[in-house]
Structure 1
Amino acid sequence: KMYKELGIDLSTSSINRWMHDTIERLYPLYFCQMQKIMESSVLHIDETTIPINDKPGKTRKGYIWSVVDGSRNNHGLFFYYRGGSRSQKIVDLLLHGYKGAVLTDDCKSYYQLEYFPHVTHLACWAHVRRKFYEIKDNFKEECAYILRLIGALYLVEEGLKAREASVDEVLAERKSRSVPLLAELHTYLLTKQKHCTPKSGLGAA
């Protein structure tokens, strides 16, 4: 439609063919980027919804995956799409043979990472925090305490980032400041777990 407004008459098939040819030529660059990121010692992986129009006049909800270099090398990211799937098979394909740490949300597709021999599965604190933030009106005292501890963890990381701390400095400060906070949070959660059901708001969080 935009081309027609400019007085240029192009068929949809021609535009589709050009796009396909362009993608084919860019694929080697994409593959190199993908390889480089998969060499990282830390990956951040997330999946998000996209509309898929693979049937005339109808769209369906699908998923596209983003894989980010979470190390200090910061080689960027790549997107991965396979039929719009969000299944465990995608995790298998992406991380087959990978060795390192993988940070994800709580999507069930990632649960299998606990059984990958060379992968350390990390939880995303932003997603953890959100769980408690969403129920804070119903569990004010508990959530205030939990969110305060998570906030303290964030402050440690912000300070390290602000002064561009070295790897050794990061490790030392996390041991001295973050580990005690995590231990306190863990103890508190275990105590509260005894007094709530798994399906309650607090128990689910």
Structure 2
Amino acid sequence: LSSILAMDEVPMKAGLKSKGKMKQTYFWPIYGEEDEIAFTWSTNRGAQHAKAQLTGFNGVLLSDGYQAYTSVISALNKDDEANIIHATCWAHTRRYFDKALLMEPELSKQALTQIAKLYEIEKHIRGNLTYGDEILAYRQKYSEPIVDTFFNWLYEQRQRPEILPSNPFSKALS
């Protein structure tokens, strides 16, 4: 079993809601680092399905920023049922800073510049590297310092009292 999973929820119509109308349901695809794939399904987008799928899992979960993952991981870790680290994807993180550009243009641009550097590293990897160990070494050498600096910068920004919780930039920082 993989110690790194990627998980998402995808809306799909299935089953009849009423005559001529279909119900909104969800596929929850799960992809493991060893190329394992599972397509789980639920009638809703609630956290209980994520919990059912993640119970017994220990490792890193990569997902978008949907709150259900955060709450499930927190609950499972708190109850000592699991040791899960939640990693969110850079594309979703980037979107939050894009939305914050109007309120905090300079700070948001700083964040977007750091994320763009990571995208360039990944572009280089896709075009030039094929083996897992060399990809890992390359990321550790080039991406890790950027991520460490970025996370420290995020922490510093979150300490600023003038950035209100309702500010889109504050949401991006979270």
Task: Settle same-fold status: TM greater than 0.5.
Answer: yes
| 2:67 paired residue number | 108
How far did residue 132 of structure 1 move?
A: 0.8
1:151 corresponds, among 103, 113, 116, to: 116
1:79 corresponds, among 21, 27, 39, to: 39
Q: Structure 1 length as normaliser, TM-score?
A: 0.69
Write the distance in 1 (CA, Å) between the matches of 2:133 and 2:17: 54
Superposed CA deviations along residues 56-109 of structure 1, whole A, max 9, x for unmatched, are 22444332211123x2x434x332112x22222111221222233211111121
In terms of fraction of residues, the more helix-rich structure is 1
How far did residue 128 of structure 1 move?
A: 0.5
Q: Which piece of structure 1 moves more, 194-203 or 96-105?
A: 96-105
Say if 2:24 and 2:44, in contact at 8 Å, map to a contact too. no
Kindly indicate whether structure 1 or structure 2 has the higher relative contact order, using CA contacts under 8 Å at least 6 residues apart: 2
Q: Structure 2 length as normaliser, TM-score?
A: 0.80
Q: CA RMSD in A?
A: 2.2
1:132 corresponds, among 97, 102, 106, to: 97
| 1:121 paired residue number | 86
- The alignment status of 1:64 with 2:23, answered yes or no, reads no
Residue 45 of structure 2 aligns to a residue whose secondary structure is coil
Structure 1: gaps spanning 5 or more residues: 1-38
2:87 is matched by which residue type in structure 1?
A: L
Q: Percent identity?
A: 25
Write the distance in 1 (CA, Å) between the matches of 2:15 and 2:130: 47
In terms of fraction of residues, the more strand-rich structure is 2
Write the distance in 1 (CA, Å) between the matches of 2:111 and 2:146: 10
Superposed CA deviations along residues 125-180 of structure 1, whole A, max 9, x for unmatched, are 11101111123233221111111100111222222232224333233332322222
1:108 is matched by which residue type in structure 2?
A: Q
2:149 corresponds, among 184, 192, 198, to: 184
Mark the CA change 1:40 to 1:190 in structure 2 (over 3 Å): closer, same or farther.
Answer: closer
Structure 2: gaps spanning 5 or more residues: none
Q: What is the count of residue pairs matched by the alignment?
A: 163
Bigger Rg, which one: 1
2:140 is matched by which residue type in structure 1?
A: K
Matched ranges for 1:87-102 at <5 A: 87-102=46-61
